């Protein structure tokens, strides 16, 4: 005998149907059947409802119609006095839908097998004929998510600190070969970093900034590894060393280049400001240590509006 299709046989187990709307697709409004929810912080069941929200899940098609389930998820208040989790949302369970997922587990299972068998674009084309809402990116992302990755031990890592507003500093550890974050430490203390490094003796190269915390922790935990400065600090060090060397040897450079005069009118605004600052520094230097040349001692450094003539090439050339 023919039997009618009841909506309760369409939705996954653990849901109670409140309303069904059928048009070009099927929209089912449902709610979890459980009256209690378990707190993820203290594992105590709670029945005190704080609020609710709607979670939309895509499901397997029915009679060539796409199915969407609007689940009314409740928020509960924890009854434990010592629990830090005051308000939590009930979980739908792994058989219904994974956390933060937008489709049911059984639809995700079909999408994974289609992507694994056909690939991205062919699987998405075949899924459209089956009325399965999945793009080629979703196919590939589902296959990658379920792939079993071998345990890879990092060899070259980078260590730096990070900061979130309203929180204290932490330590970020990156695998520089695979370009992904592998650890977030709760602080940037030397002991915490040292304990993490000691648990990974396979590390051979550590890149960090010039702060003493990370260098000392690396030396104590892994004295045999190679410590290098990261790219930002390396460029800063090279730039600072070059500017310092050029500043100290500017008089000799000008004398060797044969620059006799400098016309401020031909300089840009920023170059003129730097040049005037240089002249002020030379004036202060002459006041503190007068030149040994009598002829040069009798000269005066030029003012801002005049053309600068070179003076003593040995000690106060400009």
Query: What average pLDDT does this structure show over 131-151?
Result: 83
Does 290 score more than 60 pLDDT? no
Confidence label for 3 from pLDDT (cuts 50, 70 and 90): low
31 vs 64 pLDDT, higher one: 31
Confidence label for 220 from pLDDT (cuts 50, 70 and 90): very high
With beta carbons less than 8 A apart as the criterion, state whether 263 and 270 touch.
no
Residue 113: count other Cβ atoms within 10 Å of its Cβ. Answer: 13
Confidence label for 307 from pLDDT (cuts 50, 70 and 90): very low
Residue 30: count other Cβ atoms within 10 Å of its Cβ. Answer: 21
Does 317 score more than 50 pLDDT? no
Summarised one tens digit per residue, pLDDT across range 224-282 is 999 988 777 778 888 888 888 888 887 777 777 665 567 778 788 888 888 888 888 87
Nearest to 73 by CA among 15, 7, 13: 15
Which region among 149-153, 212-216, 248-252 has the lowest average model confidence (pLDDT)?
A: 149-153
With beta carbons less than 8 A apart as the criterion, state whether 98 and 104 touch.
no
Measuring CA to CA, how many Å separate 211 from each of 85, 164, 200, 207, 221? 37, 20, 21, 12, 16
Which region among 59-73, 175-189, 256-270 has the lowest average model confidence (pLDDT)?
A: 256-270
Does 54 score more than 90 pLDDT? yes
What mean pLDDT is reported for the chain?
81
Residue 308's pLDDT is 41
Confidence label for 69 from pLDDT (cuts 50, 70 and 90): very high
11 vs 308 pLDDT, higher one: 11
Residue 11's pLDDT is 78
Summarised one tens digit per residue, pLDDT across range 185-206 is 888 888 999 999 999 999 999 9
The whole-angstrom separation of Cα 74 and Cα 88 is 9
CATH 3.30.420.10, domain 156-232, yes or no: yes
For the ranges 49-63, 162-176, 276-290, the one whose mean pLDDT is highest: 49-63
Alpha helices in the chain (DSSP H): 105-118, 121-129, 136-146, 190-198, 212-221, 231-248, 250-257, 269-288, 294-298
The whole-angstrom separation of Cα 32 and Cα 258 is 87
The Cα diameter of the chain in Å comes to 124
Which tokens in the block code for residue 257? Answer: 């280049």
Q: Where are the domains of the chain?
A: 8-97, 103-145, 156-232, 258-300+307-318
Confidence label for 13 from pLDDT (cuts 50, 70 and 90): confident
Provide the terminal-to-terminal Cα distance of the chain, rounded to the nearest Å: 108
Confidence label for 304 from pLDDT (cuts 50, 70 and 90): very low
Phi-psi region of 100 (alpha: psi -120 to 50; beta: other; left: phi over 0): left
Query: What average pLDDT does this structure show over 286-309?
Result: 53
Which tokens in the block code for residue 126? Answer: 């075949």
Does 146 score more than 60 pLDDT? yes
On whether the pTM is more than 0.85, the answer is no
Residue 245's pLDDT is 87
73 vs 275 pLDDT, higher one: 73
Pairing mode, strands 26-32 and 65-77: parallel
């Amino acid at each position: 005998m023919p039997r009618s299709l009841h909506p309760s046989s369409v939705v996954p187990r653990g849901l109670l149907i409140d309303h069904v709307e059928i048009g070009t697709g099927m929209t089912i409004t449902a709610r979890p059947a459980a009256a209690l929810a378990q707190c993820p912080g203290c594992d105590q069941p709670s029945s005190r409802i704080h609020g609710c929200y709607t979670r939309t899940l895509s499901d397997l098609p029915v009679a060539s119609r796409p199915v969407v389930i609007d689940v009314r998820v409740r928020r509960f208040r924890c009854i434990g006095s010592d629990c830090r989790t005051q308000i939590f949302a009930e979980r739908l369970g792994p058989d219904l839908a994974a956390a933060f997922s937008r489709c049911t587990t059984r639809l995700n299972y079909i999408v994974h097998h289609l992507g694994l068998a056909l690939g991205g674009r062919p699987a998405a084309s075949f899924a459209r004929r089956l009325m399965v809402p999945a793009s080629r990116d979703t196919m590939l992302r589902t296959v990658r998510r379920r792939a079993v990755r071998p345990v890879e031990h990092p060899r070259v890592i980078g260590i730096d600190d990070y900061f979130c507003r309203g929180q204290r500093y932490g330590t970020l550890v990156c695998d520089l070969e695979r370009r992904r974050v592998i650890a977030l430490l709760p602080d940037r203390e030397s002991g915490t970093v040292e304990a993490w490094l000691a648990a990974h003796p396979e590390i051979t190269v550590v890149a960090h900034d010039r702060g003493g915390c990370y260098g000392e922790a690396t030396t104590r935990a892994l004295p045999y590894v190679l410590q290098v400065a990261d790219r930002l600090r390396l460029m800063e060090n090279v730039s600072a060393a070059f500017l310092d060397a050029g500043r100290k040897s500017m008089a000799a450079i000008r004398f060797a280049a044969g620059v006799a005069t400098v016309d401020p009118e031909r300089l840009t605004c920023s170059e003129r400001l730097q040049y005037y600052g240089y002249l002020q520094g030379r004036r202060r230097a002459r006041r503190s240590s007068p030149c040994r040349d009598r002829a040069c001692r009798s000269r005066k450094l030029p003012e801002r509006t005049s053309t600068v003539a070179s003076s003593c090439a040995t000690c106060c050339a400009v």
